[in-house]
Structure 1
Amino acid sequence: MNFASDNVVGASAPVLEAIVRHNGGAMPAYGADPLTLGLTPRFRGLFDHADLAVFPVATGTAANALALSVMVPPFGLCLCHEEAHVMEDECGAPEFYTHGAKLHGLPGAGGKIAPDTLDGFLSGLTRHVKQMPPRALTLSQLTESGQVYTVEEITTLSRIAHAHGLTVHMDGARFANALQSLGCSPAEMTWRAGIDVLSFGASKNGALAAEAILVFRPDLAETLEFRRKRAGHILSKGRFLAAQLDAYLDGDHWLKNAAHANRMAARLAAGLSEIPGVRLAWPVQGNELFPILPAGLDAALRRGGAIYYDWASRSLPEGEAVREGERMIRLITAFSTTEAEVEDFLALARRA
């Protein structure tokens, strides 16, 4: 009963089979192999974007940091939510790869930045040389609270950012989960809504270690190949990155994986909501849920072998709070989470 993260599970069978299938024989190195070269037309078709540039990398940290490095100069400011992954969980990688640019976190319930918050902050800045000028906005999809930005919200935030001269990045570590939740197309949730660069996540949803930086503006892609090389993310045996992404996309495998993870989260949430004293901090909109529960129930679950994380309550909805004698936790389901695991957890909670 490990619901700590979707990183704790292995890779999906089609992805592993693809790595083995493409292991034999010789192929050109450093991304010159047919599999890697084939990713660009494949992603262009998926996102309905003829000029899309594709840069596979091995980790989400590299995807986010390198993406922001082409969007923010060393003297610039990158805006994000105050609890965003790039802000709290990348060990300063965005600042490192931008050579000193600064991240600035904005508040917002559910890990989401409200349009008025963004516009108010940007409008209130001075234009003096001693003030770092804002150059980019990054949005997490899903957010750190498991919430989705709707297409309308992305469009509005992008419009505000662009009006102030900013480019817009999306951290799509759980891109597929958000896409399944909204029921829209990849294009509708990205470039058509104003996203300039996307970190396309796959590792949390079935890949072994594969992400892709997708750049919708050719001018931003110009230096990324050199930055990726300097960062050590042009793999000599690049075919294995490409094999993962190819299998991930094949037959909508990525969407099926995400749909399953989302269903397991919804099932877990429904069962927990029936238990007295348990409530959800936010609605379940992907594969993450954040129950607030009595401390005694939390202790019993842990004694029974359940594994999960405590969670901070900084961006709770207005009027909600974790009261004395309560705990807020995070549960995450994955593409491989079984119904039996969900039912075992719920049975343990009911007994407790």
Structure 2
Amino acid sequence: MRRLRRARDRHLRTTHRVARRIVAAGAVAAVCLVPRVTPAASNDAFAFDRHCIVVVNDTDKDLLTDRDELALGYRPFEADQNRNGVPDGVELAMRCARAIAQLPSEAELTGDGQTYKQEMLVFGLETCEVCGEAINMGVVRVVNPVRGLAIEVPVIASHYMEHGSFSYAGEVNRGRIDVARLAATLGVRFPCEPDEHQLPLDYAVEGRGPIAPEARDLDGDLLADSEELAAGLNLYDADQDGDLVPDGIQLARRCAEIIDRLATVEAGEPGAAGVYRVSYMMRGLEWCEICGQSVNMGYWQIVNPDSGGSIEVPEIARHFMEHGSFSYLGDRHGGGRMEVAALLEVLGWPTECGDLGTRYPPGDLNRDCKVDAQDFVELVNWWLDSTDPDDR
């Protein structure tokens, strides 16, 4: 009996040891098969300007401190959220510098509630410690009367921001801008450059009133709350997928892209398989009231034979959607707005994995709409990133 117990114990110990080795080998193999990308690695290909001053407590090395990113609603572990090859801090600094340069002075204000700047220059220069450029020692005061915010930005700081850094070093002024306060004062949350085609929901056409008079937009993403609810989106989050592009802009551009790819059928011809568009182009043009571009004054009829639904999309509306707006303004159609929920339904939204509003299955860590070994690799990478090898 004792021999049987000892044999059983040896068998169990051997089984457990082999199982542990198999699990360990599987994890190592998975990590070896898929290259491990750390957040900082995404910056390796970017050539930082010499003005870009490294900051402490910056996990992803994008020149925004973790505290800055949390205050802005960014991800402190992802250096390039919009995946355009430019670190988020560099891009945001340049965007803020352009915004300050474009602000009107107090004397140039044309209406109430405008953000403006007060240039308080002095008789004196300081030298940039990086490039040696001589810069005024004064400051620019940015004032947002609607929010009751103001911030002073040294001229040398604007110089560094133009090169992608919120930190600055001059002979007289040196330090770092309060990034969250500056962004709030300027009304800049995202680094993407604004487009005049992106009409706010309360945009009013002279003599005709607001384009969307009843619309409300709690999160300021250019989608009405009712549109977000109908589409199953979050009306309290302007950037659900964290790519630093407001959801309304992203959704409009994506819809225009899908419409352009649809099979085209001329009016009166048989329909195509799947969702398609019927051309009702006309012998006439209308002009975009924003950029002056001429487009056909006709429209597309988008047809979904599976659901039996259809919707008309004026060509001028498609033009505005390319620029990130479901609202449009032409000299023929006037001002209007697409029925966003109806358009998404006809297109069969989401059309692809990764489209805004995609519902990912539990365990889909890499968001490719399937649960497989790659998700296990993602989990291992997260564990390795969050584990200090010196900890015992």
TM-score tier, shorter chain, comes to under 0.3
Q: Which has the higher helix share?
A: 1
TM-score norm. by structure 2 comes to 0.23
Q: What TM-score does the superposition give when structure 1 sets the normalisation length?
A: 0.25
Q: Identify which of structures 1 and 2 has the higher relative contact order when contacts are C-alpha pairs closer than 8 Å and 6+ apart.
A: 1
